[in-house]
Amino acid sequence: MSDRQLRIGCASGFWGDTPEAIGQLVSKGDIDYLVFDYLAEVTMSLMARARAKTPEAGFAPDFVKALVPWLEDIKAKGIKVVANAGGVNPRGCRDALARAAAEAGVELSIGVVLGDDLMERADAIRDRGVTEMFSGVAFPDEIWSMNAYLGARPIATALDAGADIVITGRCADSAVALGPLMHEFGWKDEDWDKLSQGSLAGHLIECGPQGTGGNFTDWQDVSGWDDMGMPIVEVSEDGSFVMTKTADTGGLVSPGSAGEQMLYEIGDPRAYLLPDVICDWSGVTLEQIGPDRVRVMGGKGLGRTGSYKVSATYADGWRAVTTLTLAAIDAPAKAERVAEAILTRCRRIFRNKNLGDFRQVSVEVLGAEAAYGANARARTREVVLKIGVAHEERSALNIFAGEIAPMAISTAQGLTGFYAGRPKVQPVVRLFSFLQDKADTPVAVEVDGKDVPVTVATREVRLDPPATPRPTAATRAPMPSRCAWSNWPGAVRATRATSPISVSWPASPITCPTSDPPSPKTR
């Protein structure tokens, strides 16, 4: 067994993350790979709309713009790059980066992974009678985007073919890290435990600084929010790894911060389904081995599925949101009455124009503890009134947008704060998820514009999970009471005193919370 370790740093947790992260990792991260995660489900619909207007668009231009100033250093240091910045137009992203690199005088080999975009198959999929995998609703009449979550093997194939930079469309977030590990260590498609550990390494860094103390329950322990360290994993050939961050930066890497990121968006930790492997992370251990250094071991692989998850997006009506500030005595009561007046006026106009009622209305008086309902105790003389509405017709919400400003001279005194002008009417984007056979998904790889043969394992394999004893109260790590979403049965929140810790779950089924911690990736 080789003692070699591969250092992978993640410079983006979502489309819009700070471009400063690239310089931080390239200049002082001592990394072998620089990876980026840009894509959320709604992001795909935005990129699809952009490409519909401009055929050359449809990818994350931020990636090209932020990467170009560092291309010379990346080339000189031998750092390779993997990013899902391709969105719905990976070739367009490749072409834009190739032009920018040529202008900078940097010669690079660029690979792209294709086949996740299934838009051309929409009619055939609809004719198959596909329904939404969670709600059971019928396939929409009009789809904006439709992309399968591809795995890491195509990325590894592009790297095998000599690519310095690999650009993908939709893939599993953790695949941008697992692909380099499969390439560098020669991991096979049946190396289940290694694939699980490599996926866990990718999962811990895929949200950028959220894995190094951002959104952390014990936020008081985290310093340097103005210069958060980007996450780095040091992965060994056997799959074990150390989670850390860029030196001399803010943030915190501890069993607690790493454990929170591990729990993020995985559902059942004993069967987290990814394109390359079914992950069982119920026996993972997190051990503090130094300042901002946590050793992670114990991830198991239980085979793979024979299908990809596909996320499609479609338009379902329109929405608009406005905010107004009200000050002085009785501000909360005035805000509620202003909201009532706006909605009543709009409804009267709707009736006169034969328009239906709002599909949905949300009124919040922020600053008056509106979120606490009957338990609110605030007494305040300044509030922000937030009104959100949805409607089938865009014309109806244009009326709503035009009736906000007139309230300034026809309702309560103290109304101000028209900071953003009229509210913008936007489409409501819905998510439609279903499964697609891997064998029927046209995965392809190109390097420097030339086809590269790629073989993706498509046969379903299901292994029995290892027997895991139910943890007792004595062995289960305590959880800070401040964490509202730490009440998953058996979920572990480590404090500074619990190192090393074993992250274990009880034998009974886990009931996941109805909502995740806030993140730009799920907005």
Instruction: Please check whether residues 202 and 318 belong to one and the same domain.
Output: no
Q: Is the pLDDT of residue 489 over 70?
A: no
What's the pLDDT tens digit per position in 150-178?
A: 999 999 999 999 999 999 999 999 999 99
Q: Give the CATH number for residue 368.
A: 3.30.70
Neighbouring C-beta atoms of residue 84, cutoff 10 Å: 33
Q: How far is CA 168 from CA 147, 226, 332, in A?
A: 12, 30, 49
How confident is the model over 46-53, as a mean pLDDT? 89
Phi, psi of 479 (to 5 degrees): -125, 130
Instruction: Please check whether residues 84 and 171 belong to one and the same domain.
Output: yes
Query: Is 356 a domain residue?
Result: yes
* pLDDT number for residue 468: 60
Q: What is the pTM of this model?
A: 0.87
pLDDT, greater one: 278 or 378: 278
Query: Is 406 a domain residue?
Result: yes
Question: Which residue range is the domain that position 417 belongs to?
Answer: 313-431
CB 245 within 8 A of CB 205: no
What's the pLDDT tens digit per position in 414-460?
A: 888 766 678 999 999 999 999 999 999 999 999 999 999 999 999 99
Query: Is 409 a domain residue?
Result: yes
What's the pLDDT tens digit per position in 62-87?
A: 999 999 999 999 999 999 999 999 99
Q: Is the pLDDT of residue 106 over 60?
A: yes
Between CA 58 and CA 74 the distance in angstroms is 25
Instruction: Please check whether residues 373 and 228 belong to one and the same domain.
Output: no
pLDDT, greater one: 36 or 505: 36
Percentage of the chain beyond pLDDT 70 is 88
Instruction: Please check whether residues 422 and 449 belong to one and the same domain.
Output: no
Instruction: Please check whether residues 327 and 210 belong to one and the same domain.
Output: no
* pLDDT number for residue 513: 34
Between CA 297 and CA 239 the distance in angstroms is 8
Number of structural domains found in the chain: 2
Matching residue, tokens 């980026």: 36
* pLDDT number for residue 473: 47
User: Strands 5-10 and 33-36: what pairing?
Assistant: parallel
pLDDT, greater one: 19 or 368: 19
Taking Cα atoms as reference points, which of 83, 49, 148 lies closest to residue 444?
148
Neighbouring C-beta atoms of residue 12, cutoff 10 Å: 28
Burial class of residue 465 in the structure, from the number of CB atoms within 10 Å of its CB (0-12 exposed, 13-18 middle, 19+ buried):
middle
Looking at the DSSP bridge assignments, the partners of residue 434 are 310
Instruction: Please check whether residues 66 and 16 belong to one and the same domain.
Output: yes
Lowest pLDDT segment from 139-143, 242-246, 363-367, 465-469: 465-469
CB 519 within 8 A of CB 207: yes
Count the residues in the chain.
523
Query: Is 338 a domain residue?
Result: yes
* pLDDT number for residue 418: 65
Q: Which two tokens stand for residue 265?
A: 């968006």
What is the amino acid identity at position 123? D
* pLDDT number for residue 1: 53
Q: Is the pLDDT of residue 499 over 80?
A: no
How confident is the model over 335-351, as a mean pLDDT? 97
Q: How far is CA 423 from CA 164, 222, 316, 388, 481, in A?
A: 44, 36, 19, 10, 39
Phi, psi of 319 (to 5 degrees): -140, 160
Instruction: Please check whether residues 169 and 249 belong to one and the same domain.
Output: yes
Q: Is the pLDDT of residue 501 over 90?
A: no
Between CA 81 and CA 95 the distance in angstroms is 16
Mean pLDDT of the chain: 89
Q: Is the pLDDT of residue 392 over 90?
A: yes
pLDDT, greater one: 415 or 13: 13
What's the pLDDT tens digit per position in 219-245?
A: 999 999 999 999 999 999 999 999 999
